[in-house]
Amino acid sequence: MTYAPAHRAFYDADSHIMELPDFLKKYADPALRDEIPEVSYSASIVTDEEVAVIMGQGGRHSDDHIAAQIALGDRLIEASKEIQALGAFEPSDRSRAMDLLGFKKQLVFATHSLRMPFSPSLKLEHRLRFGAARAHNRHMAEFCQADDRLMGVGVVPLDDPDLALAELEFLIRHGLEAVWLPHRPCGDRSPGHVDFDPLWARMAEAGLPFVLHVGGAPLQLAKAWMNNGRPPTKDWLGGGENLRTKDVALLHEGPEAFLTMLVLDGVLERHPGLRGAVVELGAGWVPELLRRLDWVVKHWSRNDANLQALTRKPSEQITQQLAFTPFVFEEVGLFIDQSNPDLYLFSSDYPHIEGGRNPIGRFEASLGDRSEAVREKFYAENFLRIFPKARVHGPQATVTA
């Protein structure tokens, strides 16, 4: 018996690898390896001691631990979390986890290895930023290549359009199935800048969707917003390193700005075959985004020649080309009523604790008495529209340099 009920196909738009310290170093170009730091868990609930035990076992869980995880059966998602989870970092164990979870497909993101490719606070040379991205992408492709249920997500920095296009070609050649982009201005360009048009065109041509995901831009607000003369607020895990109250309240601002540029700069209009998803950044802001952009285009197109070239309303572009994962604690049923059922995707966030102990149960409660057709779109059809290659089964490409 699997966690996901057998009467329906479930496609999971969010899961993660819990990287071991050598996740980037091991796969970096030899000339860069000494300049690539180990992956750190210092801002995580995972302890250094947990990581040290795993590394002392040759970078594996013990046989007893694996057996205990498998014995959880359909309770795996309830009790198997973070770096101790089945398949957190070992591909063969992840296949066993998928057998127990019962999902048809699962997007696989990294967790702690994105600082070098994406962080604006690191003033890195392009060779290091893109070198770290290449190491990540090699490792992710290898992790996912043996099980076609695992859809590896590669990363592409946008700091240099030519290098970004070259890294995109690497993703295509090596069978990665989505492109994680940073949802912030990179350098002095909007993502809708004409310099990026070859990138968007190539994604559309290759049928390779882009994704925005939490961690693709700084998690926390500028310190000045937190300075209210009172003691500092802890995050929901009890520390101060992750999302705090004010951070999560404004988490939507980055992806909302990024997507707004794609609409107003005409990217979605020029590339109707382009698809994208916004993952683990909430969805409560989406109905208002559609209304606002329709309103802006309707009134400002009188003076903005760029908007006059749009043949579809922003709400139509977004509905046809994008989708969003609600948090498990959000009211996706209400969002559907306020917009439409084509916009939202199921996700488990396995093995992160943020995904909850029973995401299907939580989403089912929110969907309430809505129709079977609405449920089919949420759990499967919307995913297959954004990620059409998920319909294709077979081995992925072999990873090479």
pLDDT of residue 225: 76
Flag whether 3 is in a domain: no
Cα–Cα dist 113/24, whole Å: 7
pLDDT tens digit string along 270-282?
Answer: 999 999 999 999 9
- CATH classification at residue 255: 3.20.20.140
Could you give the number of structural domains in the chain? 1
Beta bridge partners of 106: 12, 150
pLDDT tens digit string along 7-31?
Answer: 999 999 999 999 999 999 999 999 9
Cα–Cα dist 200/202, whole Å: 5
pLDDT of residue 37: 93
**C-beta atoms surrounding 316 within 10 Å:** 14
Flag whether 37 is in a domain: yes
pLDDT of residue 236: 59
Q: How many helices (H) and strands (E) does the chain have?
A: 19, 7
The helix/strand/coil state of 344 is strand
Residues above pLDDT 70, as percent of the chain: 95
Mean pLDDT of 111-134: 93
Flag whether 304 is in a domain: yes
Residue 237 has pLDDT above 70, yes or no: no
pTM of the full structure: 0.94
Residue 396 has pLDDT above 50, yes or no: no
Q: Is-contact 212 286, C-beta < 8 A?
A: no
Cβ burial, residue 201 (10 Å; 0-12/13-18/19+): middle
Flag whether 262 is in a domain: yes
Task: Name, of 213-222, 230-239, 318-327, the range with top average pLDDT.
Answer: 318-327
Cα–Cα dist 270/317, whole Å: 11
Flag whether 157 is in a domain: yes
Cα–Cα dist 253/363, whole Å: 24
List the domain range (segments joined by +) for residue 306: 11-214+251-391
Flag whether 312 is in a domain: yes
Flag whether 174 is in a domain: yes
CA atoms within 13 A on the CB side of 223: 2
pLDDT of residue 397: 45
pLDDT tens digit string along 331-387?
Answer: 999 999 999 999 999 999 999 999 999 999 999 999 999 999 999 999 999 999 999
Return the exposure string of 37-76: e unless at least 16 CB atoms fall within 10 Å of the residue's CB, then b: eebebeebbbeeebbeebeeeeeebeeebbeebbebeeeb
Distance of alpha carbon 68 from its chain centroid, rounded? Answer: 29
pLDDT tens digit string along 74-99?
Answer: 999 999 999 999 999 999 999 999 99
Return the exposure string of 133-170: e unless at least 16 CB atoms fall within 10 Å of the residue's CB, then b: bbbbbbbbbbbbbebbbbbbbbbbbbbbbebbbebbeb
Indicate the average pLDDT of the chain: 93
Flag whether 237 is in a domain: no
> What DSSP state is assigned to residue 19?
-
For the ranges 87-91, 226-230, 256-260, the lowest mean pLDDT is seen at 226-230
Residue 196 has pLDDT above 70, yes or no: yes
pLDDT of residue 395: 44
Instruction: Find, among 100, 103, 104, the residue nearest to 73 by Cα.
Output: 100
pLDDT tens digit string along 305-328?
Answer: 989 999 999 999 999 999 999 999
